[in-house]
Structure 1
Amino acid sequence: MSRERVTVIDIANAAGVSKSTVSLVLQGSSLVNKTTRAKVNAAMRELGYVYNRGAANLRQANAKSKIVGMVVNDLTNSFFAELAVGIDSVMQSAGYVQFLANTGENIDRQREVIASMREHGISGLIISPARGTEAADFAALANAGIPVVMAVRNVPGARVSSLTSDNHAGAAASVAHLAKLGHRRIAFLGGFPDTAVFTERFMGYRDALIDAGLDFDADLAIGAAPSRAGGVEAIERAMRLAVPPTAAVCFNDAVAFGVCDGLRSRKIEPGAEFAVVGFDDVIEAKTAVPALTTVSVDPQGMGRRTAQLLLKQINSGAAEPEALVKSVRLVVRQSCGTGIQGGVR
């Protein structure tokens, strides 16, 4: 194979890695481990590939386009689908096209899709970071002058803009409502404890228990995947406690739906015999049976605000990062019933 015909895809196939990984090696990125880097370099030597850095730099200089990247950590969660709709409505009006990628909480996948998006000359990036993302993961983007806005999740120390919800206030309002209904054993269910969002919502839950004069029982705080399946798992563990809860503040609506599924499998009717509160207020929350009491984040509105923040960064060229916190409100529906005296045990 002649040198002129060797491509990045040829190298990726020879080394058994993705095209994006080869690109990271060519860029000298520290995100690729030594073993993989060695495999890629060996494949390049064997194929006789010569990297034309001058041409690559010229491509990058001319690559600024009306394209933005959108990377989310869990597209199976309807919250992120609604967030993406909000982002698209603003970006489309501004003449931009979005590249959407789902990482499934895989940090290596996240690095690869971002590298691939950079190859296509994105003008900016909106990202809900995967678990394990570090501030250093954004350094290459900053050095390349690519604006970044983090949505939903934040990464401590990252010098990029962010838009998050008031997680502490939302969880606190949920507990206050349940305490007012007469509940004394209130669980906090779902979510990955190693994320900032979990910490903020959990702290809101714990602080509100103290404010309501209730004891904090660590056994009632049960982490699980922030998904419907995670909700089923969490409520199963909660109901096996010696003294089970009578109500639950859930990490998000997906977990809340799973909690309702798990309760029904035990012949316990949510809303009538057990109170459930979600977090997000996705479209399904209004039509669920029973309709879900939840903290409204307004996913589409959050997406629109995130897109506006990115456009501001793109248009200004070198704007200082902004950290915005969106207010939330508790929407009371049927999943909490009318309290201990009104039917919920």
Structure 2
Amino acid sequence: MSKERVTVIDIARAAGVSKSTVSLVLQGSHLVNAATRDKVNAVIRELGYVYNRGAANLRQSRAKSGIIGVVVNDLTNSFFAELAVGVDDVVQSAGYVQFLSNTGENIDRQRQVIASMREHGISGLIISPARGTEAADLKPLTASGLPVVLTVRNIAGAKVSTVMSDNRAGSSAATEHLLKLGHRRIAYLGGFDDTAVHEERLAGYRDALQAAEIEPSEELVISSAPSRAGGVDAIGRAMTVAAPPTAAVCFNDAVAFGVCDGLRSRGMEPGRDFGVVGFDDVIEAKTAVPALTTVSVDPQGTGRRAAQLLLKQINSGSPAAEAIITSVRLVVRQSCGAGSSAYPERKAS
């Protein structure tokens, strides 16, 4: 069967019904009994067919729609707003319009918004997938030939293009910096532990500790929602262990901001009484008090790269998978305690 489009005839053949029956199902007609309708809909989902009311065929509608779908898992995190700005910079100059949707980590919502975008004939899709998304969830998209680019979060086995940050190197650099400031009890706070990005950043943290001949302490690795509230929760739990940490590498900037909130609720000042390092370098990181030390991944730049890769696939007509890993850098500001007499800088032992 052609990968470029699935036809009504293909659906009818696979379901063992007539073409007219498939058409009635697509139109939502009640003339088709429930059992047959369910069978046809199951085949439609399996083959990745999209009923585009305004087009004669899927390829033609994509070429003319001028719409790029962008689906993110948490728009309350300003990282994704900045990423969307980067996407828009590129697609707008190419004559496309961005349709942005937030899933709130809900896979069912993710399926709904992607289905709606496809019915509007999107030319391609950029997605930071909801927690728990699997390669099989993307198979209907790739089967239809729709160009797809994953960003921020990778999915094992998904045969689509990706734009990811060098998470392991970034987290390692953050941990190494805290070690140089004299810390030995360093926590890793925040993030869902069932996501690839969490695993990569945690691995970098452990790499740096082991290189300094410090055995990573599992009681100092605390998972939480990758949000400000999650950061408050994580630092609260971290400070209850028998030997509390003196610094933390945080899953992202949102968690780091929450850690700072949680420290202040305990009468501790970030950068003076406790070292904090984030990950992302969102706009607020520079203006926070204290200014946040963080691993810069350039959210807008990530969006631009994802959009450029997607447009390349759309224009070439070939959604061959490509993988881009963007470099990161540690931006040292006040929250880590650099320059503070509380943390005299010295080499890690």
Question: Which TM-score applies when normalising by structure 1?
Answer: 0.85
C-alpha contact 2:52 2:121 (8 A) present in aligned 1: no
Change (3 A) 1:5 1:212: closer
Distance 1:9 1:198 in 2: 43
Structure 1 stretch displaced more, 210-219 or 262-271: 210-219
- Corresponding residue of 1:78: 78
Change (3 A) 1:221 1:31: farther
Q: Does 1:189 align with 2:189?
A: yes
- Corresponding residue of 1:124: 124
C-alpha displacement of 1:162: 0.2
C-alpha contact 1:271 1:344 (8 A) present in aligned 2: no
What does 1:154-233 correspond to in 2, within 5 Å?
Answer: 154-233=154-233
What runs of 5+ residues in structure 1 fail to find an aligned partner? 16-21, 33-52
C-alpha displacement of 1:28: 2.2
- Corresponding residue of 1:259: 259
- Corresponding residue of 1:29: 45
Amino acid at match of 1:100: L
Change (3 A) 1:193 1:136: same
C-alpha displacement of 1:5: 12
Distance 1:335 1:223 in 2: 21
C-alpha displacement of 1:284: 0.1
What runs of 5+ residues in structure 2 fail to find an aligned partner? 1-22, 345-349
Change (3 A) 1:31 1:238: farther
- Corresponding residue of 2:143: 143
Amino acid at match of 1:343: A
Change (3 A) 1:61 1:166: closer
Runs of 4+ with deviation above 6 angstroms: 4-11, 53-57
Secondary structure of the residue that 1:206 maps to in structure 2? helix
Distance 1:194 1:31 in 2: 29
Secondary structure of the residue that 2:192 maps to in structure 1? coil
Deviations 1:288-330 (A, max 9, x none): 0000000000000111111000001111111420011000000
RMSD of equivalent CA atoms = 2.7
Distance 1:29 1:75 in 2: 28
C-alpha displacement of 1:144: 1.3
C-alpha contact 1:187 1:249 (8 A) present in aligned 2: yes
- Corresponding residue of 2:294: 294
- Corresponding residue of 1:331: 331
Secondary structure of the residue that 1:313 maps to in structure 2? helix
Amino acid at match of 2:181: L
Amino acid at match of 1:58: A
Change (3 A) 1:25 1:240: same
Number of residue pairs matched by the alignment: 312
Deviations 1:17-59 (A, max 9, x none): xxxxx9x937621599xxxxxxxxxxxxxxxxxxxx8978835
Amino acid at match of 2:58: Q
